[in-house]
Every structure is written in C-alpha cells, then in structure tokens.
Amino acid sequence: MNKEEPFLKKLHKELRDFPEEKQKEILEEINNHLEESEQETLGGEQNKYEMKTGSPEEMAVNFKEVYRPRRFLDLLLVILPLYVLFPLLQILLPYFKPVSSELQISNVLLNIRITFLISAFLLVIARRRKALFLSGFWLVRTLMTCLTLIFREDRGNILSLSSLPVLIENIFWLLIFLLLLFLLVKAIQKNKNNFLFLVFLLMPLAVLPANLTLYGLVSGQSVSLLSSSESYLWIVLFEKALEISAYCLIFLGTKRGLRWAGLILLGTGSTYSLLKAYGVHVFTYLPAAFVILFCLLDILKDPLKQIMKRTG
C-alpha cells in the first residue's frame, strides 16, 4: 500500500481517531480502489480522485458517521451517571442503612460497590457500542473504583489470613483489578499512536496523584482562601460546568482540535476548585500542562517524522 499517495495520506490523517486495525483495513480497501480506477483517469491527478472517488475529507466524514454514530448518546452515558446518578446515590446513602446492616458492611462500602457495578455495566455497554472513548472512560473509572475497594483504609492488610471470607473477597477483587489492568494495557497498545485517546484515557490516573499531592501539601493550611462554604459551592458548580463543557467538546467534536480543547478544559476544570480554595500551586496546573504537552506532540508528530526521514 502506498501511504505516500496524497488521497490516502489525507484520509489516514482524518481517520486518526479510529482504532489502528480499522484504519489499516479502510486504507487497504481504498488503496485497492484507487489502483483499480487508475485506468480511468480523466485529466490531472486531482480530478482523477475527486470525480470518481470524492474527497478524502468527505470519505472520512462518512466513515465517522458509520463508526461514531449517536455521539450524543455517548456523552449522555458519561454525564448522566457522573453528574446525576452518582450524586443521587450519595444523597440516598443514609437510606441504605438497613441494607448495609443486613449485609454487615458499611454504607460507604455499599456505595463503592454499587458505583463499581454501575461503572462495570457502563463499560460493557460501551464495548458493545464499539465506542472507543466511552469504553476508555468507563474502563479507567471501573479500575479506579476497584482500586478503592482493594485499598480501603478499613481493610487492613489485603492478603491477611485472619479471615477467610475477607481473604477470598480480596483475591476476587485483585483478579478483577488484574483483568481491568490487562484491558487497559491492551487499549493503550492498540491505540499507541492516538495521543488524543491516550491522554483522555490516562488523564484521571494523572490527575489523581496530582490531587492527592496537592491535598497533602495544603492540608496543613488552617485557613482556606475562600470566605465561605457558599462561595466554595459556587466554585464547585462552576468546576462541574467546566467539566461538562469539556466532555461535550470531547464526545461531540468532529474536529481533532476541538477535542483537544475539550481535554485541556477538562485538565483545568478538574483542579479548579482546589486552585480557588488554596491558591496557585504547580500541581493545580499539572493536568492541563500534561494535556497541552501531548497536544503539541500530536501536532508536531507528522512534521517531526518528515524531518527525521529527510535527515535519514
């Protein structure tokens, strides 16, 4: 396959969001078509492709319609659980007391388990829809919830032999964790050239240590910069609005630039309330900086490859 062919080059660029296997398959099929239609050229190279083939941009838009249908549904499958379902769960938590007492577990543990089940269910839906970003989103969240279940403070030593049922449960969660980790590594490997997806996938994992570090650094501060808890509430609401806008750009955006903008917004939004509460700190800007760095790498990836090829 001649990847240098202008049509294929443009098409390849437009399909960067697609899984690598699907890209290869489409490009090979279109390459075959172009080679077959070479016999029927009607003038200059540009005419040949545009008249019988259409433009690569048009083809890419049509393929995106096929493989990213109902993007709005993907967005809803993120926003509704995150900003409606899980907060509702928190509010209803006190009413779970009879259930948690019956199961002899704390309300918090019950909440985390329900969160895990919902996240895992949404992961299954996302994989069935073959929605790359949605699958990545719920894969990471399910993994992080699983980690929370394994490393809870009240659990103690996770491989303790003091109680057999607890040990069996711990092993069960460890196995689930390993399975999710395997899926994560597989997703990273399959999409290693898709920086947009990789950053989206790994952002929560990058934000978490940043947040924990920041909490550790500022926890000694006895006075918050905010005048009241009411102003903190408005700031948190604004932060959530930033996050929702970011997800809209990421899931609904058809242009790569828009989706990168969404990621930068997400990186900023995820630590906005900390910034307002505790002032400027390097870790507050770490997630956004992480995104901007990879965005620049994504933009410069192809030109750098060209330069390296020429210099041999």
Binding residues for other proteins (CB under 8 A): 25-26, 28-30, 32-33, 35-37, 51-56, 58-59, 62-63, 65-67
Neighbours of 225 (CB within 10 A): 11
Burial class (CB in 10 A: 0-12, 13-18, 19+), 127: middle
Measured from the CB atom, the residue of 68 and 276 that comes closer to other proteins is: 68
Q: Token match 């016999």: residue?
A: 39
Measured from the CB atom, the residue of 29 and 293 that comes closer to other proteins is: 29
Measured from the CB atom, the residue of 69 and 279 that comes closer to other proteins is: 69
Q: Is the alpha carbon torsion for 255, 261, 264, 266 positive or negative? A: negative
Least separation in angstroms between residue 222's CB and other proteins is: 59
Least separation in angstroms between residue 63's CB and other proteins is: 5
Least separation in angstroms between residue 297's CB and other proteins is: 30
3-state DSSP assignment of residue 48? helix
Least separation in angstroms between residue 124's CB and other proteins is: 19
Measured from the CB atom, the residue of 56 and 287 that comes closer to other proteins is: 56
Please tell me the distance from the alpha carbon of residue 272 to that of residue 291, in angstroms, as a whole number: 15
Please tell me the distance from the alpha carbon of residue 67 to that of residue 300, in angstroms, as a whole number: 26
Q: How distant is the alpha carbon of residue 21 from its chain centre?
A: 20
Ramachandran category for residue 104: left, alpha or beta (phi over 0 → left; psi -120 to 50 → alpha)? left
Measured from the CB atom, the residue of 26 and 263 that comes closer to other proteins is: 26
Least separation in angstroms between residue 27's CB and other proteins is: 11
Least separation in angstroms between residue 6's CB and other proteins is: 15
Structure tokens at 29: 């099929």
Least separation in angstroms between residue 66's CB and other proteins is: 5
Measured from the CB atom, the residue of 14 and 243 that comes closer to other proteins is: 14
Q: Is residue 75 within 8 Å of residue 247, measured between CB atoms?
A: yes
Least separation in angstroms between residue 235's CB and other proteins is: 44
Measured from the CB atom, the residue of 19 and 204 that comes closer to other proteins is: 19
Contacts of 302 (CB under 8 A, 6+ apart): 13
Please tell me the distance from the alpha carbon of residue 105 to that of residue 94, in angstroms, as a whole number: 13
Measured from the CB atom, the residue of 66 and 164 that comes closer to other proteins is: 66
Please tell me the distance from the alpha carbon of residue 207 to that of residue 135, in angstroms, as a whole number: 19
Query: Within the chain, what is the greatest distance between any pair of CA atoms?
Result: 81
